[in-house]
């Protein structure tokens, strides 16, 4: 199935994004690093801060990327914008309820999650290493690195991943990952693996026997 836009139109959106918002892009990258380090030092007491930050990041994607830019070449971006806004609200709610404690999983989920977080932070540099020319290159604060970062953080959560918070990142893993293959964006191929990892973890949670009461 073809895409409703050309490769040139797609990468022009990133050029417009980077040209218009480059100070915000830099600020979001620095803020992401700071929020991660801040919460990592005391995840039990500070994880709600990271939930609020992720909410702000998904809302930025909904408005600045999807609604303001991507709708120019893809009418489906209005739907994407709405879904990203819903994801933002879910993270805000999780922050208010102190629902998630990041960085407290053990074993493979913790290691894989931290690897995805590191990858998401390296993403702007990897896109250039893979041959994309700035400014027509995906950087930070756009959907694919946001989804990779989010999945990475979710799988490090103690007690498992809340299903409500996983649905939109999983959906974008399919949409964004498939588009990455069609548009030859190698940095986004990891999104497919991240979505597969999250799916396996969610299935494992469903299959885990519940403790008996009584």
pLDDT tens for residues 23-69? 999 999 999 999 999 999 999 999 999 999 999 999 999 999 999 99
Encoding tokens for residue 202?
Answer: 């969610």
Cβ(137)–Cβ(22) under 8 Å? no
CA-CA-CA-CA dihedral for 79, 80, 86, 89, to nearest 10: -140
Cβ(123)–Cβ(87) under 8 Å? no
Q: Report how far residue 99's alpha carbon sits from residue 115's, in angstroms, rounded to the nearest whole number.
A: 23
Encoding tokens for residue 12?
Answer: 């022009």
Q: What is this structure's pTM?
A: 0.96
Indicate the angle between helix axes 77-97 and 43-60, nearest 10 degrees.
160
pLDDT value, residue 16: 98
Q: Report how far residue 104's alpha carbon sits from residue 135's, in angstroms, rounded to the nearest whole number.
A: 37
Encoding tokens for residue 114?
Answer: 């931290």
116-174 pLDDT, tens digit per residue, is 999 999 999 999 999 999 999 999 999 999 999 999 999 999 999 999 999 999 999 99
Q: Report how far residue 203's alpha carbon sits from residue 199's, in angstroms, rounded to the nearest whole number.
A: 6
Sequence spans of domains, the chain: 7-207
pLDDT value, residue 206: 87
């Amino acid at each position: 199935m073809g895409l409703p836009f050309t490769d040139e139109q797609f990468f022009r959106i990133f050029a417009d994004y980077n040209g218009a918002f480059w100070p915000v892009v830099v600020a979001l990258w620095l803020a992401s690093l700071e929020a991660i380090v801040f919460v990592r030092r005391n995840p039990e007491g500070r994880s709600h801060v990271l939930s609020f930050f992720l909410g702000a990041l998904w809302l930025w994607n909904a408005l600045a990327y999807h609604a303001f830019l991507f709708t120019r070449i893809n009418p489906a971006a209005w739907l994407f914008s709405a879904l990203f806004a819903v994801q933002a609200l879910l993270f805000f709610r999780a922050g208010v309820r102190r629902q998630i404690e990041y960085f407290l999983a053990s074993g493979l989920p913790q290691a894989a999650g931290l690897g995805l977080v590191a990858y998401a932070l390296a993403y702007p540099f990897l896109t250039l290493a893979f041959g994309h020319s700035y400014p027509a290159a995906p950087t930070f604060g756009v959907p694919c690195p946001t989804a990779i970062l989010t999945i990475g953080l979710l799988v490090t959560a103690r007690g498992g991943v809340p299903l409500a918070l996983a649905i939109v990142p999983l959906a974008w893993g399919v949409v964004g990952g498939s588009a990455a293959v069609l548009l030859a964006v190698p940095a986004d191929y990891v999104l497919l693996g991240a979505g597969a990892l999250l799916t396996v973890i969610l299935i494992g949670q469903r299959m885990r026997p519940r403790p008996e009461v009584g």
